Chain A
Amino acid sequence: MLQYVVRRLLWMIPTLIGVSLIVFSLIHLAPGDPAAVQSSGLLTGAGRSEGSADQATQKFRERFLLDQPLWKQYLHYVGPFHLGKDGHPWFGGDGSDKWNGLLVGDFGNEFRRPTVEVADELVRRLEVTIPLALLSVLISYLVAIPIGIFSAVRRGHPLDLASTVGLFVLYAVPSFWAGLMLQLAFGKSGLDWLPVIGLHDKDAAEMATGAWLLDLLKHLVLPVFCYSYASFAYLSRQMRSGMIDVINQDYIRTARAKGLSEKVVVLKHALRNSMIPILTLLASILPILIGGSVIIEVVFDIPGMGKYAYESLQLREYNVIMATTLIASFMTILGILLSDVLYALVDPRIRYD
């Protein structure tokens, strides 16, 4: 098993390199480049003269190797050698900055704020997004699984029908709209029960731990709900159909014939067998939550990874786009691996040797 996991982890390397190649090509194929964005005055404000703008753009291009052929830019990005003018002496640099790129763990710097390393900023962003995503996944499962079990065991019960309809309505509601409506309803314009922007109040830094935590929780309620409500329907339907399938199996009849109560039959004998489709979904939900957080993070103004990715796309921050895409791919592969490992834990028939 351990060997299998290690092997799968090693396979990630070529996969991620492949992803980086594709994404790198795609973003460079897209029209516009960061130098143009920079010089258009979007950030620095208009009012520069033509000539100096051209000069600045030229310098900018040189600095980030944007004037080089694409293959060279890519090799520079992947590393490990710095291919610029001040790069590794083997490639004509002056040797002041020999190493660069993914292979030495360097995601590069932001174009807009050249002193900020993308890796550092990513860590700050993930510290926000990952807890939010995990909390949402946890809540999705905690809500969806009991609903699914109930619907399966009491098929046709009024509550089964009601939850089916209710959850499908939720499923159909787009989250950016739901987010805005919730802000209107619970924010200052409505009931004024919950904060609707950001993760902390302005004075959070001076709060005691308890108050700080409470403040954070209050800020989390709406975004977490927006993250998770759509998957309630999805997951609980999966759980329901999986459970119905299992409950008609012979071994469930055997369990009943032993004299076990219905509760034990369902929760011990049926549940574990019907977890497999649900675990498959875990693999797909993890990256979706981190990627799908774009909308929620923008709506609720949460400084997480989704917002970072969104902004970087607008600004053609190549290094950030690359980094966020690679993280999303990494999460996808990790999610699949995680669900494969969980299969084996749930079902002894599945073994990886």
Chain B
Amino acid sequence: MTAPNKPLLELRDVRTYFYGDEGEARAVDGVSYTIGPGQTLGVVGESGCGKSVTALSIMRLVPSPPGKTVAGQILFEGRDLLALEEREMRAIRGNDIAMIFQEPATALNPVYTVGNQIVEAVRLHQGLDREQARARAIEMLKLVGIPSPEERVDEYPHQLSGGMRQRVMIALAMSCDPKLLIADEPTTALDVTVQAQILELISALQKRTGMSVLLITHDLGVVAETADHVCVMYAGKVVETAPVERLFARPAHPYTIGLLRSLPELARPGEKLPTIEGVVPNATRFPSGCRFRTRCSLARDLCAEREPPLEPVGGDEGDGHAAACHFLEEAIEL
């Protein structure tokens, strides 16, 4: 899908910092990306790169203290979410923007029935009465493929399997017809077979409702299957962004290249699987200049002095492929 003129969600230079004993942790440090209507944006990166905190910043659910979104704009349908009153933000949460989480085992309240938890959201945002809301809950459970929803609606989360719970989470998220679904590692905690089912379900629901999806994952395979456009994040910043086919065909940033090389699917049999040396730096002590330089084979003096901006890659600039590296030409040779 081509990028439409008016994005549904646009992040402009969002910065979310945490203030702890070790000082200021710049978990999200100048992230910008856009999602068009009906589009799926995949955000990938290692644990601790700031992808989840970015998502929580959109929802304004960063635990505060210690966290705070200190700068930037988050435009949703042209309105800056960061400037809204808490009351206005509540009307958007769960209604226009819904979110599902990584751990279906703990994301549902153990002491209320799944029906109760869906009914609660529907009644809050859609103003339905108890009967209608219950009917809606059953309808949603049916929609996400839960067998005998009339009975399941009165069950407690602990009575369901992990996959079923994630379906309930999706039903809950979808119950108010959101325009944007934020899925934060929705399949990470699930069995491989269940993973595929959940991803298919999200795609099917997206086709049906035309919502946009922000898919956060560390799994490039998941991105390849579901996303239209990809953002690669490293150490609180976007290092590369591209349409999905383009990213897999011609990755430009040394980090992205390293990530793709380390996919077992792409490795040649008999060879040792390549890895990226080192670990993500601590968010309180990022290296100067390019944050990836400590793990990069191309790094030289310039990388320590100046931070590379996100610049368009290749000839045609219209496809939205950009990367943040001083030595893109060399990186492509890697």
Contact = CB atoms under 8 A, between A and B. Distances in A.
Interface residues of B, number: 28
Most chain B CB within 10 A, of A248, A255, A346, is at: A255
A349 B124 contact: no
Contact of A257 (B91, B98, B110): B98
B109 interface: yes
A253 interface: yes
B101 A254 contact: yes
Contacts of B112: 269
Given A256-B61, A257-B59, A261-B90, A347 B120 contact: no
A258 interface: yes
A259 interface: yes
Contact of B107 (A254, A272, A348): A254
B172 A258 contact: yes
B59 A273 contact: no
Contacts of B92: 259
A189 interface: no
Contacts of B84: none
A251 interface: yes
The binding surface of chain A is classed by DSSP as helix
Interface string B105-139: 01111111000000011001100000000000000
Contacts of B110: 251, 273, 347-349
Interface size class of A (residues with CB under 8 A): 20 to 34
Contacts of A256: 61, 93
Contacts of A349: 110, 156, 158
B94 A257 contact: yes
Given A254-B101, A260-B94, A260-B124, 6 more contacts: A248-B63, A250-B101, A254-B169, A254-B172, A259-B91, A347-B111
Give the 3 A-B CB pairs with smallest separation, nearest first: A259-B94, A259-B93, A258-B94
Interface of B: 59, 61, 63, 90-95, 98-99, 101, 103, 106-112, 120-121, 124-125, 156, 158, 169, 172
21 contacts: A248-B63, A250-B106, A251-B107, A251-B109, A253-B101, A254-B101, A254-B107, A256-B61, A257-B59, A257-B61, A257-B94, A257-B99, A258-B94, A258-B124, A259-B92, A259-B121, A260-B120, A272-B111, A273-B110, A347-B110, A349-B110
